[in-house]
Amino acid sequence: MYVMRRWGTRNAGALAALFRFLDPLIRAFHPLFRRLGYGRLERPAAALEARLKGVLFDCRMCGRCILRATGMTCPMNCPKALRNGPCGGVRADGTCEVAPETPCVWVEAWAGSRRMRDGKAILTVQAPVDHDIQGSSAWLRHIREAAAARGVRAEQSE
Ligand code: SF4
């Protein structure tokens, strides 16, 4: 929903602060999720994530969310699905060369990043889209990977 997507970009600073606050709480669910089985949780989590983030960010369920590095603007809404900045075709007025009726996703991402405390994360080089994980829950992946980084047993119990 384009109106909500623009709202997310305009309020990128507040959304990022909310995420920073919620992140440790969400990650604390890892032991419970591991016990229940990440595999078993995948389908309902992905459905919930698609619904919520679909409304807020026009999320395309790429499987690895980089909203915090893109000014809370989903880069998968770029018609070319570019994850590392705009192509060379941005018009002088900041609109997209493919869809001239809309602003370039990356122009909006940059504006959103300027409202965020850690806005320089937009300069981080992102890995290409992994088509093997498309449609899966980036939330669960984030929790699992954060646990693994902390050295907590994080293997999937499928
Ligand atoms: S970066 Fe991926 S997971 Fe995050 S909102 Fe965009 S499509 Fe969804």
For 85-141, the DSSP string reads: S--TT--TTSB-SSSTTSB-HHHHHHHHHTTSTTGGGGGSPPPPP-GGGTTS-HHHH
Nearest atom in ligand 1 to 70's CA:
1
* Domain range enclosing 128: 2-149
Instruction: Tell whether 155 is covered by a domain.
Output: no
Report the separation in Å between the CA atom of 85 and the middle of ligand 1, taken as the mean of its atom positions: 15
pTM for the complete prediction?
A: 0.90
Report the separation in Å between the CA atom of 157 and the middle of ligand 1, taken as the mean of its atom positions: 25
Structure tokens at 32: 């419970």
Instruction: Tell whether 154 is covered by a domain.
Output: no
Domain count, the chain: 1
- Spell out the per-residue pLDDT of the chain, length 158, in tens: 688 888 999 999 999 999 999 999 999 999 999 999 999 999 999 999 999 999 999 999 999 999 999 999 999 999 999 999 999 999 999 999 999 999 999 999 999 999 999 999 999 999 999 999 999 999 999 999 999 998 865 454 44
- CA-to-CA distance for 90 and 86, rounded, in angstroms? 7
- Which residue's C-alpha comes closest to atom 1 of ligand 1? 65
